[in-house]
Structure formats: structure tokens, C-alpha cells
Structure 1
Amino acid sequence: MRPRGRARRRDRACPASGDAGRGALSEPGRGTRVGAGGKAAEKPAKSAAGRARLPVERARWAVVSAVVAVALILAAFRFLSPIAALETRLSDTLRVVVAPRQTGQDPRVAIVTITEETLVQFPYRSPIDRLYLAGLVQALADAGARMLVLDILFDQPTEPEKDRALIAALRAFPGPALAAWGDARAGLIDAQQRFLEDFAAEAGLTLGFANVVTDDDGVVRRFATTLGGTDRLSLPAEAAGALPGAQPPRAPGSGGVIDWRPPASANATLFQQIPSMRLTDPPNQAVGAALARALRDRVVFVGADLDQQDRHQTPLAVDPANRRTIPGVAIQAAIFTQLLDGRAPPLAGPALAAAVVAAMGAVGAVIGLLRWALMWKAAATTAVLLAYAVVVYGLAGERALFLPVAPALAAATAASLFSLSIDSYLSRRDEKFIRRAFSHYLEPAMVEQLARDPDSLRLGGERRELSLLFTDIEGFTTTAEKLPPEQLTLLMNAYFDAMCAVVLAHGGTIDKFIGDAIVAMFGAPRPLPDHALRALLCAAEMDRTAEAFRARNGALGIGATRIGVHSGVATVGNFGGSTRFDYTAIGDTVNIAARLENVNKRFGTRVAVSEQTLAAARAAAGPEAALPAMQTIGRVGLKGKTQAVSIFAIATHDDRALLDAYEAAFALIDTDPAAALSAFEAMHRASPDDPLPAYHLQRLSAGVASTVVASA
């Protein structure tokens, strides 16, 4: 016999037909277990694995939500141009508006521009007058320019004497001189390509392609240093390589993202820009001398700065203070300085960006599946989004790292929404399951009563008249040790299935399981005026059911099921902490019922019923009702009780003559022990399997002539 009272419960639910072994459920939104108590019963799950089932399932769904959301978001930002443009725009804003501005113009580079002011003085606009260019090259040489980079394509002859003048000026330039290169992809025909190569060779020019790489939205964000199908490098790469000690990249397809840094003010430019006319035709000698000093030892880029030609949109335009497009020659100069410095914008690489998006998706998924109210989930998601935005802004403000913005925020939001949808499904499913699971403990009316009265799920109790029923299988520990776990599980599921069905059929409530034992209540949570009658009839049917089950499984050596029933006042309600509690009964009535189950072992009976239960059952049944045949055991002193309790047993047979003879012999124990002894001897010979005549015969033979049993 296992100890009662505060014994550890068996973590399993009462199985119903076709549902054997199903575990008890958590109360929605409370994290408590629902079970035997109807209004607010709490039951642990059937095992450690069972207790973890719901959290593990929700964790699994959180992973699924995160994976789906992240995959969809990454695919959307990769393949859907309008969505990708959103992240591109945000990235531009971080790099241009949030990140620190350029502190000043790069002192290594100057740009000399061919403007409308220059072209208007010539009879033709293109090609640019080469005699004028010869004078410009000479002026730059006189100013002490370190290197000359012409963002100009010399693809056709002009006036011969002017062409020769430019060739001579270029050959005489003291430093490296470079010019733009093109092929059929730039619209040049074979003759133009041949002229370009010959002109460069004669003038001593190094050629590099000056292609500008634009994204789908027409904005220049990237650059290439090599071009497929040719060994030519880009013009900035060739220029960087022309400086001592520089090693420009030469791997096919190499390039990168332009590290755009906004100028210090709205009217400033990235580099010092000087119109060419100021050099070739200075307004006075002082201005000419000042410009010459400004160009000394600088790399000078020469190119057009025209409103309708070779101007490009860059990320710098997201700055409200700088909406202008910039000339192609300025882009070439920006790439050149970036290659010289070997720098790149601190963008999150593909792996890091994907990891950040995945992490945000995971956070959103977890929040969506937390057992919180919708308001708190929304608040938590919003807080995560704001916190991430603050981190992104802070890192960008320090120009430390540019993290993905829109994909990460979208992943967290989408994963949270996915998880909310799944949480809604799981909650509806669990609600249905709770209703089914309650049927394992309660009759349907009680289940509906619980569903209609969720406010009863709170701590508290009340004193109530009710009946308690305890069961236990004799010698079950030995039987359990002999059986493999799978067979034992099937056996016990079938046993509990049958026994619980009897309890529920009589309107009882499954309170708890303690190993192989069952504890049931009659009269709680729903009051039952005839609780004692129901408990008595239930005990009789459980005895028949258990014996039939024992007979079917006789080869396994299952012992008899002992049952104790007692009626009285007990305190019933929710007992425990604010987050975890049981609906159960406590008090002396509960302890007596447990002791009665145990006394069966001493008397050899299977069902022991207190005088209080029998009297109340007879009163509820009326004179015409058929009650189980009862036998008087005697007044028994139970452990922990100062007064003996009158106890009766449900007879193991229905032979009315023998039952009457037993009661007559029992009445003689105190008044005529010798006559009682003779009667019990005759009774034992007639019915040797009847345990009570054998018990009293043994006591009388030992000289104990009393109907009071000192202790049991």
C-alpha cells in the first residue's frame, strides 16, 4: 500500500474509450494543469516528455515560422525589384544621411571640367577641340600636376594639326597620362577602335574603360575594375596602378560598392573642381597662379560637366541638402581614391546579413508563440523592432557597420504574424482538446460547466458534504517489475480505461492517480445530493469490473483491486500557488477513505465502506432500491483516529441465507462468543472463500471475542 495524503501523483490522465493514456492539459493562458476538479482542476502531464510536449511543439512551430518568414523575405528582397528598392533606399539613407559626412575635399585629387562655357567658343561640340585640349594639358603640366586622367574618348580624328598638337602635349606631360577606352559595347566601330589604339600609342596614353555601373533604378552604387572579354582595367584602376607601389585588382569580375561619403555642406563637392577655362584663360595672373598652386602634385581628372551629358544619379541624392546628379568624371575620381585607400563601405556581408535577418525572424516567431495576451505580443514585437532600429542607427552613425534594415524588420514582423496565426490555431486546437480531455475526468455536464465558468480557475476552497473513493491494486509493484514497459503501459491503460468509465458513469470526478491507485470524488465540483449512493454503487461496479479485468489477464498475476469509500465534510477547491494549483479535497474525510481502502488488506475484503456512507446511501436510495449486499466488518480503530469507525464490506456473493447467517453470528460475538465460533465454523465450511467468516473465526479461535478491532 502506498502512503496517502501528500503522495506524488501519477502523471497520467484517465483514459476514455479509444483515447487510452492521453495526458492532462494545460489551462489556456495560465500554464496550469486542468483535470479532475471540473471547475478548476489541475493535472500534471503524463510524463516529463508529456510536460514538455507543448513547449517543444511551440518551439518547433517557432522554428518553422522563422524559417518560412526568413526564406520568403530573403527571396522577396532578392527577386522582387520594388521590394529590393526599399532596402536599397534605406541603405543609401544610412550611408549618406546618418553616417558622418566627409570632413573636407580629398587633397590628392582635383577635377578639371569641360563646361558649356568652354564648348560655346568652338564651332563644334564633339569631339572637343584638340588644340584647346593641348593647351589645357600644357597648363596642367606647367602647374605641376602629378598625373593626368582624361575621361575623354579619342575615337576619331579631327583636324590633323590639332590632333598632332594634342599628341605632342600628351607626350611632353611629365607624369603618367591616361584616357578612356571603349569597344563595340561602347558603340565604337572597328575603325574607331583602331584609331583609339593608334592615338594612345602615339601619345603615350594608358587606356582604361570608363564604364559607369548603374543599378536597376539608374543609381550608381557599384563599380567594376575589370571587364569581361578584355584584359583592360577600368580607368580608375589603371590610374591607381600608375602610382608607385599600387596594386590594383585584376581578378575577372572584381569590383565593389562605392563608398559614397557626402560632402561637408550642401554646396560643396567631393573634390576640388576647376572649370578648364580658368586654367587656359585665367581672368588675371593672380588667379592663374593660385590655381596652378592648387593643382601641384595632384592627380588631375579631366572630363565633361555638362547638364545633358554624362551625369548620373548617386546615393548622395537621398540627402535633402544635395539632390544633384554628378558628372561621370567625379565618379571615376571617387573610385580612384577608394582604390588607393583600399577601403570599402562597412556593409554587412551576405552571410552576416542573412544571419541577422534569420535572428530577427526567430525573435519575432518566438514572441508570436509566447503565451501572452495579444497586446503584450504586439508591444514586445514593436519594442524589438525599435531596438533593432536604434542599433542600426547607432552603428551607422559611427560608420562601424551598415546592417540590413527592411529585410530584418520585415522578417521579425512576418515571423511574428505567422506565429500569431499558428498560435491562434494551436489555441483553438487546445481548447477542443481540453474539452475532450476533461471528459476523461468529468461527465460532459461538468465539462460544459467548466467551460462556462472560467472565473472559477482561481485559488480558494469551500467545505462541502461529499464522498471519497480510493482504489489500489494489490501487489501491483511486483507485477509491474515483471512486465516490460510496453506491455505494462498497455495493461494499465486498459485498466484505467475501464475503471474511469465506471466513475464517470456514476457522476464521479477523477481527482488524481497515485501509481496504480485512483482517487475519485462524488459531490464536487458539482453538488450531488445522492453522492453517497453514487459512490457506493460505483464501488460495487468497480469491484466487478476489476475482477473481470483480473480474470481476463490472469496469466499476468494481477492482484485484486481494493476499494475504500467514506462520506463526510471536506474542504474542496483550488490549492497551490498563483500559477500552479490543484482542484482537490482535503481533510479528515479524505484520510478516512484512504485508510478504509487499506483495511481491506487486513480483513481480506475488496471493498470497505464506512457507516456514514452506507447510512447516507440507504437514505438516498429509499426502501425499494436495490443496494449491494453488505457485510458488517466491525468497529475499527483507524490510524490517526481516536474513535473507532464502523465499517462494512460489499459481499463477495449474493447468497441471502449465508449473509443473514453471517450477520446473526456477528451479533453473537460480544454476547455469546462460543455460539459465534460455532456459527462461523459452519459458515466457513459452507463458503470457504468468504473472507469475513474466516477472519472472525480466526479471532474467536485465538480468544478475541470483540467486534472492535483495535487498530487497522
Structure 2
Amino acid sequence: MMRQRLTEDRMTRRNQLHRCLIGLSVTLLFAFLQATPPAPLALMENKLLDMRFLLRGAVPANDDVVIVTIDEKSIQSIGRWSWDRNVFAELLYTLTDAEPSVITFDVIFSEPSALDQELAQAIDYAGNVLLPVVFDFGGDLGRHGAGEQLDDFALRQVSHPERFREYRPITADSALLPRPELADMSMGLGHINMQPDRDGILRWELMLIAHDDRLLPSLTLLTAAMHKGVALDQIIVDAGKGISMADTFIQTDHFGRMLIPYYCPSGTFPHYSVADVLNGDIPPEKLANKVVLIGATAVGIYDLRVTPFSAAMPGVEKHASVIGGILENKLLTQAPLWIETLLLVCSGLLLTLLLRRTGAIPSLMLTVTFSIGITILAILTFLKGQTWINLSAPLLNCASIYTAIMAYSFRVEERSSRYIKHLFSSYVTERVVHELIHHPEMARLGGARREVSVLFSDIKGFTSFSEKHSPQEVVTLLNEYLSAMTEIIFRWEGTLDKFVGDEIMVFWGAPMPQPDHAERAVRCALEMRKRLEEMQQEWRERGVEPLDAGIGVNSGKVLVGNIGAEGKKMDYTIIGDHVNLGARVEALTRNYTTPILVTEHTVAALRGNHTEQTVPAYTLQEVDRVTVKGRNEAVKIFTVAGVTEA
């Protein structure tokens, strides 16, 4: 029994080890996928990032940034787009009088115009104008070899140059530049290229673009630097880490991109129509010492972008969010990969340890709890710490660990169910088999001591009966008898151990616990006897010599389990002194005039199951006190004539 119990424990430990190995394997897989995310995983994470933006909602806009808009009102007042350069010249003169800190155009002046010189003079007069550049990647949008014109506006300060070979900024082939006379009068040129993710949503700002071995800053970076009074040569690029600018550090990835710190949906930053500015309707103090962005918001100009907040945000408002975030130093950062990996591995391993010994429903609850906890952590980190922690990989890891471990468990349980059904279907009723499949621990196949009642039944004089009748007659009559007895046994939910020729061995109390095992055994014996008497009458009417049988019942602790030659033949049975006593008592029915004998142990079990007010009044009569073979101690035996309800 000890060896069988150790075998069960070893199987349990092995299943738990397999669960742990499954969870570890899944976790390592997702740690790799998190480091090199495939497109579906990256898309899922982007959507979860958008969710965090939406949960955060709008935040107050930076007061230092205003937008002068080319809107429908301006187009109706000035004329259809695009406007002559003298309109922008007049706008610059008006804005300059309000003394903004920097004026940034989100308008490309790449085509020649007879009024270029007039605009150039206005730019020179303002002395704080920045103009945009558009780079092309693989096409021929602008001029090749434009590096010389851009050379004065390139970033030259690079820290840790040894890491620069691992830096992979977006590289452009050509550039669409403003007219030379306009560029020469400006304070700087910065690119306005945008690179939406695969789902079309703009989440990243290209802070740097490489062109002709130069690093060109974005227009937003130049604007923020100019407002803060930081010169171009004071902007330091830390390859693969970020950009330092005075007291501000801007985290970038290996592509030179910064996560855009969107403030809100469209319209949060102050908007002033170009028409209102030209008409003098905007008080100068609303523009003084401000960053003034000039860009289009009119739908017909088609400078609209899809963002986490909006399906149609004007590009100039995106610029405002980037500049405002830099000026307020309220930038979003991405957690280092080692922190994300630590979160994923720790949560995955802890969940695995918890799931190694739990069932499907508790495991599901644990997995959901872990997922909710990780989600809350990621959301709070984003809302309170402005840090983006990868959420998709840990969530999928938890779900996959649960799915993989449960799939393994179902496979093991299915195999166990088939084994239990194969083992017990011939011993017990279908209902008991069903219960054992759902509660396999009841079977204790490895061996256990149980309190049971065992019934033996044997046909009297069967050997002589067999000699007087043909084999066909013997088999037919025996099958008829055994079928009738088996039906009664199963009705009382007994475990049919075996048929040994004409002998029947049945027990109650295993594999399923049955506290009333003694009562079931005695009632079954009485019903078997009653049915046998009915069959004897039927046989006489048919002219067949009737069979008669003795029944013995005993109760006590026995060893129950799957016993036999492992790998060859195993039977679920019981063994022990009380089993032998039950067989000896059945044999004693040949020496007494009663067909049913039960031991004092069964009588004690009958009385112990009920109070005097509820116990059925069995007609018990002590027959003798006998000493059977194999036992030194005498035991009382009783006959049971019937039962009457008290």
C-alpha cells in the first residue's frame, strides 16, 4: 500500500512538474516575442496604448503654445487656398508686432513665386521664423544633394559615438525645401515628416531624420529649443537613448522616434483664425512670448491625421502636443525592456506556480485576477508616471499559460477518465462511474484502507448440479441467476468485484464512500434472497431443478485498490482479514438452516449508522459464536429474516 501511495504521489508531482514546465516554456516564448514583437502583437499593444490615452482623457494644454489657423473662416475672408506670399508677409508683420517668442510655419513654400522677396523680407523682419522641410524616402519628391542647404541646420553634438553604429534613424533620399531666399532669412529648417503605424494611427514623432550623413531635427524640436533659448549646437543626441536639450531629456527609440504626448482631442490648444489676426481682432497679449504655430485646420486642405483621440486631427495640433510636452517636460517614456521582461517573467512564473495544482475554475479566476492586476499596474503607471509598459505580452502570456496548462490537464483527465471507465464499468453502475470520473480521488487506485461491507454468495451443491446437467443447461441457468443477482447488486450501488464460477463477491464503501454500506449490503442480501425464491418457483414451473444459494455479509476495514501484475492484469478489489471472514461466514450457511448470515461487525455498523428513533428494525437473531479458519478469536453470527420500518 505504501508503495502504491508513493506511486500516486509521484504521479501527482510529475503532473505538477509538467504544468510548471509548460508555464515556463510559454513565458520564455512571450519574453522573446516581447523583445521582437511580430506585427499582430505590436498592433494589439498599440491598441492597448490607445486605450490608456482614452482612459486618461484630455489634459490642460500648455499655455505657451497657440495655433493661428488657416480655417474655413480665413478661406472665406481671404480667398481659396493656396494664398499669395504677400498674405503670409502681412501675417508675419502683424504677428511680429505682438512679440511672440517663435513663429513656426506648417506650410511648405517650395514653389517659386513673384512675391517670394516680399515674404523673405517679412521673415527677416520677424527674426524668429522657422520653416518646414519634407523628406522623401525612396522617391523623388524634392531635390537630391540638398545637404549643403541643410548643413547649417543639422545636429552635430553626438554623445557616446561608439553606440551610433547601432542607431537606426529613418534615412531620407531627397528633400523638398523652401525657396532658398526664404530659407536664408529663416532661423532654421526642420522636417515635418510623419510616420503612422500600420493601422494608420500616428503615435510617434520622428525627432531626427538622417540625410546625406547628417541628422536633421524635426520642426517641433527646433521650435521648442528656440522658445527655451537653446542653440542648435546645445542639442545633444545620445544615440539610441534620446536627445538632451538644456534641462530636458527626450527619450527616443533606436529609430529616433518619440512617443507623442497627446494632450487631447482637437481644439484644446488656443486657436486664432488668420482672418482675425489680420483684422486685428486678437489682443497682442494673447500672442506675446508664445510659440505661434501657423497651419491648416480647414478640412478641404487635407492636413488631417488619425490619432488615439481623433480620426481627423489637423497636423498642426499634433505639432502643438509635441512642443507642449517638451516645454512642460511632460513626456511619455517607454519602460526599459528589462523591466517589461521582469514583469512578464515574474507574473508568468507566479501564475504557473499557482496553477500547478488548481482546477479549471479556480485557475480561470486566478488568471483573470492576474490579468486585471497587470492591467491596473500598466494603466496607473501610464496615468501617474507617464510611462508606457508593454501590456499585450503579459496579458497574452497569462492567457496562454492558462490555456496550455488546462489543455494538458484536460488531456490527463481524459486519459484518467477513460482508464476509470474501463476499470470500473464492469464493477459498478454507470452513475458511480460518472461520479468517479468527476472525483477520481475517491477511487484511490494506488491503495487505501476503507471501512466496507463485503457480501459473498455461493450456490449450494453446484458441483453435483453441474454433473447431472448438460453444460448448455448449466451455463444457461447460471447466467440467468447471475444476471438477476447483478441487477439487484447494481440497484443497491454495490461494487461487483468478481464472479468465481457460481460465487459472487460484492462490496460497498469503495470506490465511492458509502457511510451506510452495511445497510446497503444487508438490504441487497435480503432482496437477492427474495428474488432467488421467486426464480426457484419459476424454475419448478418449468420443470427445472432449482438452484439455492447462501449469503454471508461482514463489515470492517480492508485494503482497497488496483491490485495485480502491473502492466499485465490489474483488478480493483479488496483484500484483508475481514474479506476472508466474509467468505468463511458464507460457507457456514451450509451448516445452519438460514440462507443469510451476517457477522457481529455488520450488526454493529447497522446500529452505528442510526439513532434508536430512526434505525430500521432488522429482524436479527444470533445464531452462534464461531471460530473460523484463519482466526483465533470467535465471532458472533446472526441471521436476518427481514426488515420492518420502525
TM-score (norm 1): 0.52
User: Over aligned residues, Cα RMSD in angstroms?
Assistant: 4.9
**Uncovered stretches (5+) of structure 1, i.e. residues with no partner:** 1-9, 13-23, 25-43, 318-323, 471-495, 511-519, 534-567, 575-610, 617-634, 636-640, 644-712
- 8 A contact 1:466–1:521 mirrored in 2: no
Query: Of residues 219, 228, 232 in structure 1, which corresponds to 2:216?
Result: 232
Correspondence for 2:91: 136
1:272-421 matches, within 5 Å, as 272-282=270-280, 287-288=281-282, 290=283, 292-308=284-300, 309-317=302-310, 325-345=312-332, 347-362=334-349, 365=352, 369-372=356-359, 374-392=360-378, 398=384, 402-421=388-407
Tell me, in whole angstroms, the C-alpha distance in 1 between the residues paired with 2:313 and 2:296.
Answer: 11
Asked if 2 retains the 8 angstrom alpha-carbon contact of 1:212 and 1:220, the reply is yes
1:110 to 66, 84, 98: 66
Equivalent residue letter for 2:116: D
**Structure ranking higher in strand proportion:** 2
Give matches, 1:521-532, under 5 Å: 521=577, 523=579, 527-529=582-584
**SS of 2:132's equivalent?**
strand
- For residues 114-263 of structure 1, the aligned pairs below 5 Å read 114-119=70-75, 125-126=81-82, 128-159=83-114, 162-174=115-127, 176-185=128-137, 187-190=141-144, 196=178, 198-229=180-211, 230-242=214-226, 243-245=228-230, 248=235, 250-251=237-238, 253-262=255-264
Q: Which residue of 2 aligns with 1:99?
A: 56
> Which range is displaced more, 446-455 or 406-415?
446-455
CA distance in 1, matches of 2:516, 2:19: 32
Change (3 A) 1:315 1:531: same
Higher relative contact order (CA closer than 8 Å, sequence separation 6+): 1
- Counterpart in the other structure of 1:668: none
Going from structure 1 to structure 2, the CA distance change for 1:271 and 1:74 (only over 3 Å counts) comes to farther
Contact 1:227 1:233 in 2 (8 A): yes
Hey, what does 2:512 align to over in structure 1? Answer: 455
| Corresponding residue SS for 1:132 | helix
For residues 453 and 570 of structure 1, the distance between their equivalents in structure 2, rounded to whole angstroms, comes to: 18
Indicate how the Cα distance of structure 1 residues 11 and 391 shifts in structure 2: closer, same or farther if over 3 A, else same.
same
C-alpha distance in 2 between matches for 1:75 and 1:572: 69
Q: CA deviation at 1:465?
A: 5.5
State the one-letter code of the partner of 1:269: G
Whole-Å Cα distance in 2 between the matches of residues 419 and 209 of structure 1? 51
Q: CA offsets per residue over residues 471-517 of structure 1, 9 Å max, x none?
A: xxxxxxxxxxxxxxxxxxxxxxxxx999x99xx99x9956xxxxxxx
Q: Does 1:71 align with 2:32?
A: no
Which deviates the most, 430-439 or 324-333? 430-439
Q: What do residues 452-481 of structure 1 show as CA deviations (whole Å, max 9, x unaligned)?
A: 9542277999998589999xxxxxxxxxxx
TM-superposition CA deviations, 1:559-586 (whole Å, max 9, x none): xxxxxxxxx9779999xxxxxxxxxxxx
The alpha-carbon deviation at position 117 of structure 1 amounts to 3.8
Who is 1:603 aligned against? none
Percent sequence identity is: 16
TM-score (norm: length of structure 2): 0.57
8 Å contact kept, 2:509–2:517: no
Equivalent pairs counted in the alignment come to 445
Are the counterparts in 1 of residues 22 and 404 from structure 2 also a CA contact under 8 Å?
no
What residue identity is the alignment partner of 1:67? Answer: S
Shifted more, 240-249 versus 304-313: the winner is 240-249
How far is the alpha carbon of 1:410 from its aligned partner? 3.5
2:119 aligned partner, one-letter code: L
Contact 1:141–1:173 (CA<8 Å) still a contact in 2? yes
| C-alpha contact 1:70 1:411 (8 A) present in aligned 2 | no
In structure 2, distance between residues paired with 1:363 and 1:66: 10
Render the CA deviation track for 1:274-322: whole Å, top value 9, x for unaligned. Answer: 111211123xxxx34x1x11000111111222213211111112xxxxx
1:447-596 alignment, distance < 5 Å: 453-456=510-513, 509=574, 520-521=576-577, 523=579, 527-529=582-584
SS at the partner of 2:292? strand
Separation of aligned partners in 1, 2:306 and 2:96: 32
Partner of 2:440: none
Question: Which whole-Å CA distance do the structure 2 matches of 1:399 and 1:449 have between them?
Answer: 71
Which residue type is aligned with residue 300 of structure 1?
V
Cα separation, 2, equivalents of 1:145 and 1:102? 24
- For the structure 1 residues 382 and 204, does the alpha-carbon distance in structure 2 shift closer, same or farther, using more than 3 Å as the test? closer
* TM-fit CA distance, 1:211: 0.6
